[in-house]
Amino acid sequence: MSGRLKLLTSEAWRSLGANLSTTVAATLTVLISMFLLGLFIAFGTWMDSWSTHVKSELIVKIYFAPNATRVEKDTLARQLEQNPNVLPNGITYVSKEQALADMKRRLPALVAGVAYNPLPDSLQVKPKRGELIDTLYKSIVTPSLPPGVSKVQDAKQKSHAILRVAHYIDVFFILAAGVLLVASVLLISNTIRLSIFSRRREIEVMKLVGATNWFVRGPFMLEGLFCGLVGAFFAIFFLVIGKEAVLPSIVPRLTSDPNVHAWGFPLISLVIVAVGLAIGGVGSGITMRRFLKI
């Protein structure tokens, strides 16, 4: 069995060398496709994690009027606790003094020299899920603002804009990777087709001397798998370089939250290798079915 495998491998290697230009083109296309696929998986899973984090941070801020009474504030807080859209224990009362202290800590230049505290008391309300922020906001302001409330504010416009941009980027990467995956399959198919054409007389002789279909098809299948595997490994190599050289300077500028992360690199590499082998196998299989009549 090992002798047969060695013979199949040598035949596949010889055929790849005979069609070197198409082999290189197919492998490079797989490389680019797998590189983009790796970027898409890493970027897409990071964006999904980041969007989940953004949604978890969404809050509705309820600002009280200066003349709001304690009864009005407590009544509103109790009503919100019964609201099905509010996260349990997701209501935080922020006094005007605490709000000013937070502002001094975050933006000291903005409040420097302020003679009095212009900030109101407020409630910060977290929705049960980020997608419910619109529903929560409407349940508070409809049909009118609660007694003692001067303004209700949420961050849905900002979050929606950010998530919309992320969605467009995801779609672009999916389309680009899809186009290159198809191109990879077609180029591998073309490589195998040229190999079949150049070795058609050998195939006829092998069949005449009793070679099995598996023995005839084996080298061509190995050719496709080789192109897919080599392209995938080179894609992983360049992804490692990019990961070590580029990510350390980019990620800290985007977010420092440890809960925001992409899939682990070993898992992404495993997916890339599996997809690369699948592309090679599919490309070989399509071509053998169409052109290898045995």
The predicted-structure confidence for 185-209, as pLDDT tens digits, reads as follows 777 777 767 766 766 666 666 666 6
* pLDDT tens digits, 75-91: 999 999 999 999 998 99
Residue ranges of the chain that CATH labels 3.30.70.3040: 59-154
Looking at 60-69, 124-133, 213-222, 226-235, which range is the least confident one?
213-222
> Which of the two residues, 29 and 291, has the higher pLDDT score?
29
User: Which CATH topology does 59-154 take?
Assistant: Alpha-Beta Plaits (3.30.70)
Q: Is 217 left (phi over 0), alpha (psi -120 to 50) or beta?
A: alpha
